[in-house]
Amino acid sequence: MPARYFKTNGHLLVCQGQHCQARGSALLHRALWNHLERQALAYYKAGGSVRLTESGCLGACSFGPTLCVYRAAEGGLEEGWYAAVDFPLATRIAQAVHDGAALPTEQKYGPE
């Protein structure tokens, strides 16, 4: 049986490096995962479109939990990098990806 490809609107990565974990990133990832599941935003749900993955250190250790997001955009790939992410912000980022809306600006530190 061949592997199944899931088309998505974007991909969120939540850092699970030790510094972000010390600031609650494991709980943040779990809560966001549950939210995507409950709201049927997760890519594997009917109508869902958001992929979520744990990541290693994203290089902003003093400012975590750190989250980055990638999605296709006109002219290439759009990325957003966020520091001190809490659950409400993470859900807003996920919703923007699902809706194809502009990414939230609060706590966004890159790209310039």
Residues found near ligand FES in the complex (CB under 6 A): 15, 17-20, 57-61, 64, 66
Supply the minimum distance, in Å, between the C-beta of residue 57 and ligand FES. Answer: 3
Minimum distance of ligand FES from residue 22's CB (angstroms): 8
Measured from the CB atom, the residue of 17 and 48 that comes closer to ligand FES is 17
Complex with ligand FES: residue 31 or 57, whichever CB lies closer: 57
Contact call for residues 63 and 84 (beta carbons, < 8 A) = yes
Query: What Cα–Cα distance (Å) separates residue 25 from each residue in 4, 9, 76, 84?
Result: 29, 23, 29, 10
Encoded amino acid at 3, one letter = A
Give me the residues paired with residue 20 across strands: none
d(CA 44, CA 62): 33
Q: Of 59 and 110, which CB lies nearer to ligand FES in the complex structure?
A: 59
Nearer to ligand FES, 37 or 79 (CB): 79
Tell me the three state secondary structure of residue 27.
helix
Which residue has the closest beta carbon to ligand FES? 17
